[in-house]
């Protein structure tokens, strides 16, 4: 499903990594661990088609064109990256989805209870109140957004790094339930977050393999 | 002059200096207006009376007067006005800084560091600007003097003409420069706020571009940005519409007043007005009156902006004000 | 393609309307002045002024007033439409960056462009661009119109005006080092304030008030010295410009006077010249400042990519 062959990436003449290879099968859950700054996030962005490799080949679900690859993956990043729009618009990103699907992802991301307490519900504008949101709430909206896209490939970039223990557990549980039949690549520097994964790889093992 | 600015001037010991500068600069615009009106009258009379031989002497005479007038201006400006202006800047800054240094830590913390810096630098500039810069107090006084002198000369030349000038000028001026233009700052402020909203949207575009791309959200984001951009345009459109109406009445007042004066003058030729040359002289003074009114209006608007700086300086310097 | 060209092309209907409005308003203004000239001839020649003539004059006056106001509105709206295209074009460019391009666009840099170059270009388009366009257009049309009225009299006005323009350009170049020297001195003075405010607790504890004041006074003295030099020179140059700008009018009256007396032109034509010379002189005298402003505007645009 995901194939990276001898991929190298440089930025501003500085080489981030060289000859990196990775194969991930359909529905496989792969965790990648490594120290901060070793290029984990860059690797995810390469898989997502956001960056172009300086050398090597990337093929995701049979696609090699970065723009097409971006359409086939869903990502949850370290920062939730909410936009100054309503909760609904942040989840759907302006696309028309059936109401049941939106309700379901809110339920799965454990947002429904909180949304129910808001006077304008899912149509609450986040621009004025994004400061009032807790890190957990914001990240759960980002997860709901990723779920709503319903892509087969899910890329997770330390989605719980800014959360406390309670929220981390809740978010990881929501992600675990959602990704049962998905292909997952999860990068983190905390291996304990990768319980139940099919493979856990070290970043340095991928290079020059 | 504003009470607080006047207090600051007295505190700095520059009241007399400013008055001297003002008195010396006051006659310039009026003398220039008188020179311009007489220049036109003299030449047109010579042309009408076939005074061909006197044209060169009129040319050299008025050139000489122009040189003398501008030499006077250069002297007052470069020797006295510049010195007074910079003395004002210097004393203002030193006084505010001294006021800060005289405080204990708690009193100092009444204002943040950034606030102190703004008061000593930008607000001192605004206060000095209020008093000395073009389109502020000094120019308002000069324009008022020009307006009064032009009106008095017009009374002496022909009272009826002054009455007609005022009749056409005043209602249109009130309409264009006071009534219509009143809401322009409000729309401009709204446009600025809309630009801030646009900037707010550009921040996530800059920081969350990858998320937007992954979730194919370009369309909705562009739609939202367009809302803010259209809001800027809509608010500016309202301001430009008022600007156009203001211009309509200003130009109408100018052209209608000029034509009316020519036609009235024609019917009064020989009785109240000596000849065509004098009629043109009257139109010149009318032009100066209009210019004076516009200038005073612009100065008042500019002074309002700078007054906020002067008020903040007063807050620091005036005893008891800071504690309020 | 340069950004300005794209903006003009994207709003070509509005730009065309603005050019048309400027053309119509200037033509109506000139026709109005021609009729004022005819009125002056009638008054100076003590001829009867017919009601029909006054009616025609009134029509031209109203046409002038209406077209000038419409020109103001359409011109400013064109500039607003261009500013909207600029804002949206920049946003579209950032959003539509193809995959792989994004590493080169730094968020801090984008926000700096939004808050500086884009904001300045936006304000320039909304407030200044049209006025410059309109006055340039008007200046050129007036020049052509006056040349058709009387080429010799137009040259009498134009040649000294161009010489003054050259003088102003040379002066502004000579003033540039003084301006930057004064600005640097002011920055140093402002920086002394910054340091004093931030070091206030230490100044209080170590009794450093006198030293702080002394440092500040030293910087202030430097600034006052260079500002005095700059302001005095600017006072002299501006006064000289004032004298020089009076010369074209004097020459116009002198040469025009001879022409009227010799029967080459009517008195009304001279009055038309007197009325229109303000537009022409305003255009020529403001040219250096406009060129400076326009250069900053285009420099800002070079830092903005649009889609």
| Closest in B191, B199, B209 to C97, CB measured | B209
Mean pLDDT across the stretch C270-292?
83
Cα gap C188→C183, rounded to integer Å = 9
Burial class (CB in 10 A: 0-12, 13-18, 19+), C29: buried
pLDDT above 80: residue C8: yes
What is residue B323's predicted lDDT score, i.e. its pLDDT? 44
Cα gap B31→B39, rounded to integer Å = 12
* Most trustworthy range by pLDDT among A124-133, B131-140, C6-15: C6-15
List the one residue out of A106, A158, A100 whose CA is nearest residue A137: A106
C102/A66 touch (CB, cutoff 8 Å), yes or no: no
| Closest in C110, C242, C250 to B70, CB measured | C242
Residues in C closer than 8 angstroms to B83, CB to CB, are 228
Q: Nearest C-alpha of chain B: how many angstroms from C299?
A: 21
What is residue A208's predicted lDDT score, i.e. its pLDDT? 64
C110/B202 touch (CB, cutoff 8 Å), yes or no: yes
C99/A50 touch (CB, cutoff 8 Å), yes or no: yes
Where chain B has pLDDT below 70, the residues are 319-324
Q: Nearest C-alpha of chain B: how many angstroms from A81?
A: 6
Residue of C nearest to A42 (CA): C103
What is residue A58's predicted lDDT score, i.e. its pLDDT? 92
The answer to whether C98 touches A68, Cβ cutoff 8 Å, is no
More confidently predicted of C221 and C292:
C221
Q: Is A86 helix (H, G, I), strand (E, B) or coil?
A: strand
List the one residue out of C61, C62, C77 whose CA is nearest residue C133: C77
Residues in B closer than 8 angstroms to C95, CB to CB, are 205, 209, 212-213, 218, 221-222
pLDDT above 90: residue C17: yes
| Closest in C98, C102, C103 to A67, CB measured | C98
pLDDT above 70: residue A209: no
Mean pLDDT in chain A?
87
Tally of CB atoms within 10 A around C112:
14
What is residue B324's predicted lDDT score, i.e. its pLDDT? 40
Confidence of residue C163 (pLDDT cuts 50, 70, 90): confident
More confidently predicted of C288 and B173:
B173
Q: Is C301 helix (H, G, I), strand (E, B) or coil?
A: helix
List the one residue out of B71, B61, B76, B63 whose CA is nearest residue B24: B76
A52/C100 touch (CB, cutoff 8 Å), yes or no: yes
Q: Nearest C-alpha of chain A: how many angstroms from C95?
A: 13
**β-bridge mates for residue A59, sequence order:** A3
Q: Please provide the DSSP assignment of C216-256 as one string.
A: HHHHHHHHHHHHHHHHHHHHHHHHHHHHHHHHHHHHHHHHH
Mean pLDDT across the stretch C67-90?
95
pLDDT above 70: residue A195: yes
The answer to whether C240 touches B70, Cβ cutoff 8 Å, is yes
**Angle between helical axes of B137-157 and B27-48 (0-180°, round to 10):** 40
Strands A55-60 and A73-76: unpaired
Write the CATH number for A151.
3.40.50.300
Sheet holding A2-11, edge to edge: A14-24, A2-11, A55-60
Contact with chain C for residue A56, Cβ under 8 A: no
* Structure tokens belonging to residue A47: 């898989």
Which of C102, C134, C250, C260 to mutate: most B Cβ within 10 Å? C250
| Closest in C81, C209, C235 to B101, CB measured | C209
Residues in C closer than 8 angstroms to A66, CB to CB, are 98-100
The answer to whether A133 touches A86, Cβ cutoff 8 Å, is no
Cα gap B190→B194, rounded to integer Å = 6
* Most trustworthy range by pLDDT among A88-97, B313-322, C156-165: A88-97
What is residue B321's predicted lDDT score, i.e. its pLDDT? 56
Spell out the domain ranges in chain C.
Answer: 1-149, 151-264
Q: Nearest C-alpha of chain A: how many angstroms from B229?
A: 15
More confidently predicted of B199 and C109:
B199
C114/B199 touch (CB, cutoff 8 Å), yes or no: yes
- For C37-60, b where at least 16 C-beta lie within 10 A, e where not — what string? bbbbbbbbeeeebeeeeeeebeeb
At A55-89, the pLDDT tens digits run: 899 999 998 888 888 888 999 988 888 888 899 99
Mean pLDDT across the stretch C197-224?
86
CB within 8 A of B194, min separation 6: which ones? B228, B229, B231, B232, B235
Cα gap B111→B113, rounded to integer Å = 7
Please state the domain count of chain A: 1
**CA trace torsion A125, A130, A135, A136 (10° rounding):** -10
Which element (helix H / strand E) includes C42? helix C12-44
Provide the number of CB pairs (under 8 Å) joining chain A to chain B: 51
Which element (helix H / strand E) includes A180? none
What ipTM was assigned to the predicted interfaces of this complex? 0.82
What is residue B244's predicted lDDT score, i.e. its pLDDT? 93
Contact with chain B for residue A50, Cβ under 8 A: yes
**β-bridge mates for residue A5, sequence order:** A57
pLDDT above 80: residue C297: yes
**CA trace torsion C301, A83, A51, A163 (10° rounding):** 140
The answer to whether A153 touches A73, Cβ cutoff 8 Å, is yes
> For residue A171, what are the domain limits?
2-206
Residue of A nearest to B218 (CA): A93
| Closest in C43, C72, C88 to B262, CB measured | C43
More confidently predicted of A208 and C167:
C167
């Amino acid at each position: 499903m995901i194939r990276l062959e001898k991929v190298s990436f440089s930025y501003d003449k500085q080489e981030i990594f060289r000859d990196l290879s990775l194969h991930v099968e359909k529905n496989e859950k792969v965790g990648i661990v490594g120290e901060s700054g070793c290029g984990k996030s860059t690797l995810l962005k390469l898989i997502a088609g956001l960056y172009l490799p300086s050398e090597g080949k990337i093929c995701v679900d049979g696609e090699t064109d970065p723009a097409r690859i971006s359409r086939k993956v869903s990502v949850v990043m370290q920062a939730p990256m909410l936009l100054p729009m309503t909760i609904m618009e942040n989840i759907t990103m302006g696309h028309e989805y059936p109401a049941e699907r939106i309700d379901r992802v809110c339920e799965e991301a454990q947002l429904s209870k909180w949304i129910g307490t808001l006077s304008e519900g899912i149509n609450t504008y986040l621009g004025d109140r994004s400061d009032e949101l807790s890190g957990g709430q914001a990240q759960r909206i980002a997860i709901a957004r990723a779920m709503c896209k319903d892509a087969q490939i899910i890329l997770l970039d330390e989605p719980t790094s800014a959360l406390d223990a309670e929220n981390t557990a809740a978010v990881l549980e929501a992600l675990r339930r959602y990704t049962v039949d998905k292909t997952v690549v999860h990068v983190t520097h905390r291996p304990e977050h990768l319980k139940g994964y099919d493979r856990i790889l070290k970043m340095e093992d991928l290079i020059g393999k | 002059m504003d009470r607080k600015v006047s207090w600051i001037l007295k505190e700095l010991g520059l009241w007399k200096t400013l008055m001297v500068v003002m008195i010396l600069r006051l006659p310039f615009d009026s003398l220039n207006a008188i020179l311009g009106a007489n220049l036109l009258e003299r030449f047109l009379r010579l042309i009408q009376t076939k005074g061909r031989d006197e044209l060169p002497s009129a040319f050299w005479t008025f050139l000489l007067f122009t040189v003398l007038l501008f030499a006077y201006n250069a002297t007052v400006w470069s020797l006295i006005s510049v010195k007074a202006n910079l003395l004002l800047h210097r004393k203002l800054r030193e006084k505010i800084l001294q006021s800060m240094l005289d405080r204990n830590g708690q009193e100092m913390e009444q204002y943040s560091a950034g606030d102190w810096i703004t008061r000593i630098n930008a607000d001192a500039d605004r206060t000095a600007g209020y008093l000395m810069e073009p389109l502020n107090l000094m120019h308002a006084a000069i324009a008022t003097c020009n307006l009064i002198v032009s009106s008095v000369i017009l009374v002496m030349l022909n009272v009826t003409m002054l009455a007609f000038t005022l009749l056409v000028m005043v209602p249109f001026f009130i309409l264009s420069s006071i009534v219509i233009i009143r809401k322009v700052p409000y729309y401009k402020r709204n446009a600025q706020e809309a630009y801030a909203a646009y900037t707010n949207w550009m921040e996530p575009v800059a920081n969350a571009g990858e998320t937007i791309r992954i979730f194919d959200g370009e369309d909705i984001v562009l739609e939202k940005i367009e809302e803010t951009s259209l809001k800027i345009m809509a608010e500016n459109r309202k301001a430009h519409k008022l600007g156009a109406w203001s211009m309509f009445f200003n130009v109408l007042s100018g052209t209608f007043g000029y034509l009316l004066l020519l036609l009235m003058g024609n019917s009064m030729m020989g009785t109240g007005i000596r000849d065509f040359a004098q009629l043109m002289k009257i139109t010149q003074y009318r032009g100066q009156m209009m210019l004076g009114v516009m200038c005073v209006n612009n100065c008042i608007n500019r002074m309002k902006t700078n007054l906020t700086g002067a008020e903040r300086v007063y807050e620091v310097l005036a005893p008891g004000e800071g504690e309020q | 393609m340069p950004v300005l060209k794209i903006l003009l092309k994207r709003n070509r209907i509005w730009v065309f309307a603005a050019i048309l409005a400027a053309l119509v308003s200037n033509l109506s203004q000139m026709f109005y002045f021609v009729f004022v000239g005819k009125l002056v001839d009638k008054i100076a020649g003590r001829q009867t002024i017919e009601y029909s003539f006054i009616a025609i004059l009134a029509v031209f006056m109203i046409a002038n007033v209406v077209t000038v106001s419409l020109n103001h509105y359409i011109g400013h709206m064109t500039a607003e439409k261009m500013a909207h295209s600029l804002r949206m074009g920049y946003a579209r460019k950032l959003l539509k960056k193809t995959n792989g391009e994004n590493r080169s666009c730094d968020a801090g840099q984008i926000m700096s462009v939004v808050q500086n170059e884009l904001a300045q270009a936006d304000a320039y388009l909304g407030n200044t661009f049209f006025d410059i366009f309109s006055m340039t257009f008007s200046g050129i049309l007036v020049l052509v119109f006056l040349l058709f009225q009387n080429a010799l009299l137009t040259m009498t006005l134009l040649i000294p005006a161009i010489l003054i323009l050259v003088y102003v350009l040379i002066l502004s170049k000579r003033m540039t080092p003084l301006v930057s020297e004064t600005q640097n001195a002011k920055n140093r003075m402002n920086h002394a304030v910054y340091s004093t405010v931030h070091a206030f607790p230490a100044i209080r504890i170590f009794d450093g008030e006198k030293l702080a004041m002394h440092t500040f006074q030293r910087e202030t003295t430097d600034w006052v010295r260079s500002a005095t030099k700059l302001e005095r020179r600017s006072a002299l140059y501006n006064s000289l410009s004032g004298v020089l700008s009076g010369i074209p009018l004097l020459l116009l009256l002198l040469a025009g006077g001879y022409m009227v007396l010799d029967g080459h032109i009517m008195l009304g034509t001279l009055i038309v010249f007197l009325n229109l010379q303000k537009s022409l002189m305003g255009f020529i005298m403001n040219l250096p400042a406009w060129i400076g402003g326009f250069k900053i505007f285009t420099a800002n645009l070079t830092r903005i990519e649009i889609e």
